[in-house]
Amino acid sequence: MKRKISPTTVLKQWLAIPEKERSARLAKVYAKKCGMKSMGEVRCAADMKKKKIAFGYETKKFKYQYKPQTYTPDFELYAKGERIYIEYKGKMTNEMRKKLLAIRDCNPDTKIYLVFEKPNNKIRKGSKTTYGMWAEKNGFDWSEHFVKEEWLK
């Protein structure tokens, strides 16, 4: 692995370039020398180093949902003393799979069951994973064509 130059050194190198020769493309090249994406980040990091502030760069990832979205399941039933929801799927696109996982994660107490038209279809060309396998792996109860009796009792 190539050793990264400190943000302070990169900033000094950058400031040594005449201003009229600096460009956005060149700024990215210089920022990359210390593993950063912009000269603004380099300036900020160099300032924190100067002030002896301990920091990490891009060390944590957060899940987020930028725009609140809503989901309307195909069917709503009352069974086993609670509401359950049925989603009938003919085709399971990658976008729909992501959406179902997000819905499940944001509504952990909600029972969503999947009914597939063709549960043996592959999730994408060349994949060994079928719709049914994907559902099982991700904790969704599923059936083919119809609602299972066991979901209702």
Asked if the structure places residue 22 within a domain, the reply is: yes
Angstrom distances, CA of residue 110 to CA of 36, 83, 84, 113: 42, 8, 7, 10
The answer to whether 7 and 42 are in contact (CB under 8 A) is yes
Considering the domain architecture, whether residues 94 and 35 belong to the same structural domain is answered as no
CATH of the domain at 115: 3.40.91.30
pLDDT of residue 139: 95
pTM > 0.75: no
Could you tell me the strand order of the sheet in which 82-89 lies? 75-79, 82-89, 111-116, 142-144
Considering the domain architecture, whether residues 45 and 82 belong to the same structural domain is answered as no
Q: Which DSSP helix (H) or strand (E) runs through 42?
A: helix 39-50
Query: Does residue 8 register a pLDDT over 60?
Result: yes
Domain around 144: 75-151
Q: Over the stretch 115-124, which tens digit does the pLDDT of each residue have?
A: 999 999 999 9
What percent of the chain has pLDDT above 70? Answer: 97
